[in-house]
Structure 1
Amino acid sequence: MAFSVTKDLFQNYLAGRTTAAEAEAVAAWLAEPTNQALAEPWMRRHWDALAAAPASIPVAAEEPSYDALLNSLHLKLGFDAPVPATVAASRWQRWAAAAALAGTVAGGGWLLYSQRVLAPQEVATAYGQVDTIKLPDGSEATLNGHSTLRYANSWAANKPREVWLDGEGYFSVKHQPNNQRFVVHTRAGFAVEVLGTKFTVYRRRDQARVVLLSGKVRVDFDDQQRPDVILKPGELLETRDSQPRAAVHKAVRTAPYAAWKDAKLVLEETSIAELATRLQDTYGVEVVVNSPELSERRMTGTVPVGDLEVLLQALQETFHLKATREAGRIVLSDNTAAK
């Protein structure tokens, strides 16, 4: 059942009066950056309750006074000049702690939302763009098209190295002498924890997956009733929002899942319907397959990935397809007669 997030539902969420399904819906709504403009005024109206939160809630040692906290919130909302990042960060930490005390944090959604303040570095790729980012510890993250990565300017040696990913990313993580953890947070209901390894993380539409190329990772589900999953090199873990507890864990050939970082598209018994979805997600263009029969056709092979026109030309020549531009979309049709 879908829930419309209203002010009343939000207030019930803060007070811990929502059902599990309602709480999950509000948490997911808060995790969407496009809802921030509406959510922030609602948060501001609850600031007095935050100031009265029990002293047992842990806050930073340098926690400013209530006046300073309220001022920092106003500044965050754009009423005045900016304030130091440490003030804004501690304010958001305390607000999140108060929400957690009321039983309002569900499925990690609020963590992802609040990190927009706590993880100030943000790198986003356009459709069709691939970009490699050097992280503070020397690790590297390569983003596929239409993806976003957020992380802190620096990482303390005694805390996990954390990043937040939307879209698709390839990670090459440097091992640290103190075995410092590296954590990739997703909105798929799990986080990926590693020490030193190479792996890909994918989160689009209702699907999420982790593919391990080398090393070792642990997939830590937000649902504490689900056991962690340890992946070995050459293994995949895949989940869908529609069946969150029906994860697929199996051995795979890793090339099709990581070749995009090397400007290649590797297809292994890939249906044209799945190919159309990949093109839409990566290049931001509507792709239509003109017959159910063609949608089911499967392809195996490798084609170079340049710009979209180069890719379409390669697909046409390699797999005997015809790609036609029609009214701002691409229509794929059968061209086997041209063989």
Structure 2
Amino acid sequence: MEKDDLLKKWLNHKLTQEELQAFKQREDFAELTQLSHALKHFKAPDFHTENALESTLNSINSTNQKRQWYKPLLRIAALLAIGFCVYYYTTTQDTTTKTHIAQKNEINLPDNSEVTLNAQSTLTYNKHSWKDNRDVMLQGEAFFKVAKGSKFNVITDLGTVTVLGTQFNVKQHDNFFEVTCYEGLVSVTYQSKNTKLLPGHRFLIRDGKQVTTGKETVKTPQWLNNESAFKSVPFKYVIAEFERQYQVTFVTDKVDTKMLFTGSFTHNNLEVALKSITLPMHLSYSKTKDTIVLKRE
């Protein structure tokens, strides 16, 4: 049955039950229903149903044409909006690099500054705002070779290191915060107090207290060459670093981890590394899978 004939039968209430159900599925059913209610209350001496029907059909067709005209534009607008959101998100979000146990990673920043990230560390910065804001957030340990330019900040949970262009190392784990200057001048801000470091000097906070240290004689941190070195450091920090470089867990119930340790261990040989940290402390160890139990000899 033609749509116009179906509409006429509906206006005259002559649709069968089956035809009525089909008629209700029309997209313009709601508009036609409103029109029908309006016509019931409209009275005029020269009103002709056929003319009204023709006018209504023309109106509906015009409306459908308008809908067909702007639907593609709505789709285009939606795609443009999605594209803009994706572009904005991908160009303004932070860039984060993480390392796992026994892993190191070299990072080139937008100004060609170089960062070497030690094991189990995280570095975060924003490429979009880099020209105006050379800030990086660090959790863990990293060695920096900073290109000369505007102020460069390394922000950690315990303090901020500020330079213009230099080489330095920053280590921050829990209550341990250490900054070593190897070239240029480094400024360290800790609890609103500012300290300047010349080459070879270190700033060390351990368990909330500042510790005086001797002058550093090497040109770069030893961990870059796969060896962790310590000078009068509580043994608990040595163990923590060992666990970051090897896939092991220590059990230290029977030893005093506050004892000071001076020495180093390699990152390339587990057995040699274990002997390097236990023999100077007069400790023995037993190893089961990835668990190492330490005890006094």
Whether TM-score is above 0.5 comes out as: yes
Are 1:138 and 2:119 an aligned pair?
no
Are 1:261 and 2:224 an aligned pair?
yes
Separation (CA, whole Å) in 1 of partners of 2:136 and 2:176: 19
* Displacement of 1:198: 1.2
**Aligned residue for 1:288?**
251
Amino acid at match of 1:84: V
Distance 1:154 1:259, change over 3 A: farther
* Displacement of 1:87: 5.8
Distance 1:308 1:254, change over 3 A: farther
**Aligned residue for 1:275?**
238
**Aligned residue for 1:187?**
157
Are 1:217 and 2:186 an aligned pair?
yes
After TM superposition, the score normalised by the length of structure 1 is 0.53
Separation (CA, whole Å) in 1 of partners of 2:236 and 2:220: 17
Tell me if structure 1 keeps the 8 A contact 2:247–2:290. Answer: no
Distance 1:248 1:302, change over 3 A: closer
Unaligned runs of 5+ in 2: 1-77
Separation (CA, whole Å) in 1 of partners of 2:247 and 2:84: 35
**Aligned residue for 2:266?**
304
Tell me if structure 2 keeps the 8 A contact 1:142–1:171. Answer: yes
Separation (CA, whole Å) in 2 of partners of 1:298 and 1:249: 14
1:307-336 deviation line (CA, Å, top 9, x unaligned): 54553355467776543224742112455x
After TM superposition, the score normalised by the length of structure 2 is 0.60
Matched position secondary structure for 2:153? strand
Aligned pairs (5 A) from 1:65-84: 83-84=85-86
Runs of 4+ in 1 over 6 A off after TM superposition: 317-320
Tell me if structure 2 keeps the 8 A contact 1:136–1:155. Answer: no
**Aligned residue for 2:142?**
169
**Aligned residue for 2:98?**
124
Aligned pairs (5 A) from 1:1-339: 83-86=85-88, 118-119=93-94, 121-153=95-127, 156-157=130-131, 159-176=132-149, 180-188=150-158, 190-221=159-190, 226-239=192-205, 243=208, 246-248=209-211, 250-253=213-216, 255=218, 258-283=221-246, 285-289=248-252, 291-292=254-255, 295=257, 298-306=260-268, 308-309=270-271, 311-312=273-274, 314-315=276-277, 321-326=283-288, 328-334=290-296
* Displacement of 1:148: 0.8
Unaligned runs of 5+ in 1: 1-70, 90-116
Aligned residues: 218
